Amino acid sequence: MRYLLFWLLMPLSHGALAQSCTLAATPLMFGTVAGVAGQVHSSTASVTVTCEAGASAATVSYSLYLDDDGGLSHDLRNGSGTAQYQLYTAAGQQPVLGSQAFASDSYTLAAHASISRTYTLYARMQPGRDGAPGVYQAMSAIRLVY
């Protein structure tokens, strides 16, 4: 089975602020997964936030959220079949909830300065999958609020 997850990027736009921020993410891909009982499959994706100050210095504060229903498990779909996975902010930690920020930061930028911060999301598919062979996909949005 092939499992793919693509991030849909959704930065929120604010009128005329002294700074601007953008979001970029790599796809989260589990690749080909053999149906071996008891085997956990893992993957990672990177989320990069780049903020830039305007003509004057600016204090930048932002939070990143998963734009989903707030559940612990997420579904990959293939027609009528599903496969579940969970997202984490550190390997082996508590799952990311869509209703809570998975990353937040705040800093001061000099005029016309920019800074990028990269965050890693860890994904894990638990053993015991029983989905039919095929390509499974999901689209998730990451929301940048600043």
* CATH number, domain containing residue 32: 2.60.40.1090
Each residue of 107-139: pLDDT tens digit? 999 999 999 999 999 998 877 666 677 888 888
33, 107 Cβ separation under 8 angstroms: no
144, 10 Cβ separation under 8 angstroms: yes
Supply the mean pLDDT for the chain.
81
Query: What distance separates the 2 farthest-apart alpha carbons in the chain?
Result: 58
What b/e sequence results for 73-90 when a residue is b if at least 16 CB atoms lie within 10 Å of its CB, and e otherwise? Answer: ebebebeebebbbbbbee
Work out how many domains the chain is built from and give that number.
1
Q: What percent of the chain has pLDDT over 90?
A: 38
Its sign, for the CA torsion 103, 104, 109, 112, is positive
Each residue of 55-75: pLDDT tens digit? 999 999 999 998 766 667 888
> How many CB atoms are closer than 10 A to CB 43?
17
Instruction: Look at residue 126 in the predicted model and tell me its pLDDT.
Output: 73
Domain range for 62:
2-145
